[in-house]
Amino acid sequence: MTWYHESMYDAGAPAGSFWEDDAPPLPSGVDLGPLDAGQGDTVCDVAIIGGGYTGLSAALHLARDHHIDVRLLESGPLGWGASGRNGGFCTLPPSGLSLNQIIRRYGEDEARRFMVSQVDAVDLVRNLARDEGLDIHPQGDGTLHVAHAPDRFRGLEEEATFLGGTFGMSVKLMSREEVAETEYDSTEQFGALLNCTGFGLHPLRFARGLAAAAARHGAKLHGKSQVLRWEKSGAEHRLITKSGALRARRVIVATNGYTQDDLQKPLADRVVPVLSNIIVTRPLTDDEIAAQGWRTQRPCSNTRQLLFYYRMLPDRRFLFGARGDLTGTPQDGLRMRKTMERRLGEVFPHWRNIPTTHYWRGFVCMTARLTPAIGQMPDDSTVYFALAYHGDGVSAAPWAGRALARIIGGAASFDEIPAPFRGIPPRILFPSLRRWYLGVALGYYQFQDN
């Protein structure tokens, strides 16, 4: 069952992103294409469903570090989902909870382990790029969390206390004047918190780089191989695609916001996909950039509940993203694009008439507990999962994929996973009402943001 428009799940359709136009194609032989039914069932030790950051990282680490025979199945081209169409914000934490809420729910020790793990996750992205020669176009030293209204700066002060004091991270509070002088200015800039952990990158270059590295180390990757049916006989799983079948002793589910209700049934009523939308302008001139006072390479997000996230790309295009839309229909997509173009002009008045060249969207994945999920299926310990990064998966997802690889390879245990990540998320009450719940939440957040 899917509850957005069918076009959102058409893995044969391009995302329409700027990244697709800007990223070089995969090297020959990385994507092996659909399974070949003429040779009978293909067999491996570990099968991975999902060819985004989680699945590709798991495949890379299983093959490279643990020498395990692994094959990956992806419905579309490798990196087709959120991993190839996000905003390229390599930052933390991957949660819908505030830092104070994480501490209250899990305790300070587990909250600290959670945050340390995600600093490690950002470092993992940098290290993978260095060690595997990934051309990810890194950009900016740190990220900015910007108060969109004067009364939101107090929240940044509290955030700085937790990040800098409780968790020992390098942060800096900046006044409105300091941000305007050194970073940028806008109608919704009233000071910011600089988190020195994090940076921007080219998300599709990262995804394709992970794929190339995984293949180079022996992982077998199959794009355009949607799993249509999942059977189990004895100790073996059989994943059936249109062109062939794959048999494996263990399976990793790494489908995030594209999890299929009818296929991954134990997860079906535990996750909520949320649409996120991005527009990108044509390259800006020197005069246009100077008119708005833009000086920073750092990725930015603001304090709205329905946040705006934005950054200047290396070729001086401006990327602007926002949550919204409950249907996924092409018509609502057009309306969302127009709304975002209008809001970009309201927040950055000097760019009001700058045309956009690209608009695309994809799914953020959330859970009822508002934290990610890494674990084993309660009724089958040979099935593993990692998903639901709440819009901050660029570093969390590769880290989660590596964590599963370490567990499967015998180098770690689930006890080493911080509590906010660990285990299957709770079921959503009356899951058929998820769209209604989301609509109520979006309306409430919009009210809070005004």
pLDDT tens-digit profile of 182-229?
999 999 999 999 999 999 999 999 999 999 999 999 999 999 999 999
The pLDDT value given to residue 428: 77
CB-neighbour burial class of residue 41 (10 A; exposed 0-12, middle 13-18, buried 19+): middle
Q: Are 261 and 69 in contact (CB under 8 A)?
A: no
> Residue 390 and residue 372: Cα distance in Å, rounded?
7
Average pLDDT estimate for 140-163? 96
Note the pLDDT tens digit of each residue in 409-419.
Answer: 999 999 999 99
Could you give the angle at which helices 108-132 and 53-66 cross, rounded to 10 degrees? 70
* Cβ atoms within 10 Å, residue 109: 11
The pLDDT value given to residue 265: 77
CA distances to 103, 200, 286, 390, 422 from 115, rounded to whole Å, are: 11, 19, 39, 15, 14
The pLDDT value given to residue 431: 60
The share of the chain scoring above pLDDT 90, in percent, equals 87
The pLDDT value given to residue 444: 47
How many angstroms from the chain centroid is the CA of residue 281?
22
> Residue 132 and residue 129: Cα distance in Å, rounded?
6
Average pLDDT estimate for 436-441? 58
Note the pLDDT tens digit of each residue in 379-388.
Answer: 999 999 999 9
Mean pLDDT of the chain: 93
Q: Which stretch of DSSP H or E encloses residue 437?
A: helix 434-449
Residue 104: is its pLDDT beyond 70?
Answer: yes
Q: Which two tokens stand for residue 378?
A: 């309660």
Per-domain residue ranges of the chain? 10-87+204-270+369-429
Note the pLDDT tens digit of each residue in 271-323.
Answer: 989 999 999 999 999 999 999 999 999 999 999 976 799 999 999 999 999 98
The pLDDT value given to residue 200: 98
- What is the 3-state composition of the chain as percent helix, strand, coil, each rounded to the nearest 5? 40, 25, 40
Average pLDDT estimate for 355-379? 95
Q: In this structure, which amino acid lies at residue 143?
A: T
> Residue 370 and residue 162: Cα distance in Å, rounded?
19
Q: Which of 81-85, 122-126, 261-265, 346-350 has the lowest mean pLDDT?
A: 261-265
Residue 429, Ramachandran bin (φ over 0: left; ψ between -120 and 50: alpha; else beta): beta
Q: Which two tokens stand for residue 22?
A: 């800007």
Question: Prior bond to 420 cis, omega within 30?
Answer: no
Could you give the angle at which helices 108-132 and 203-216 cross, rounded to 10 degrees? 70
> Residue 116 and residue 98: Cα distance in Å, rounded?
16
Average pLDDT estimate for 28-34? 97
The share of the chain scoring above pLDDT 70, in percent, equals 95
> Residue 403 and residue 223: Cα distance in Å, rounded?
23
Q: In this structure, which amino acid lies at residue 227?
A: V
Q: Are 434 and 152 in contact (CB under 8 A)?
A: no
The pLDDT value given to residue 408: 98
Average pLDDT estimate for 237-262? 94
Q: Are 321 and 278 in contact (CB under 8 A)?
A: yes
- The confidence band for 2, taking pLDDT boundaries of 50, 70 and 90, is low
Tell me if residue 387 falls in helix, strand or coil. strand
How does DSSP classify residue 295?
A: -
Closest of 231, 273, 246, 272 to residue 362, by C-alpha: 273
What residues are paired with 248 via a beta bridge? Answer: 44, 237
Number of H helices and E strands in the chain, helices first, is: 12, 18
Class of domain 10-87+204-270+369-429: alpha beta
Q: Which stretch of DSSP H or E encloses residue 203?
A: helix 203-216
The pLDDT value given to residue 267: 86
Q: Where are the beta strands (DSSP E) in 241-294?
A: 245-253, 271-281
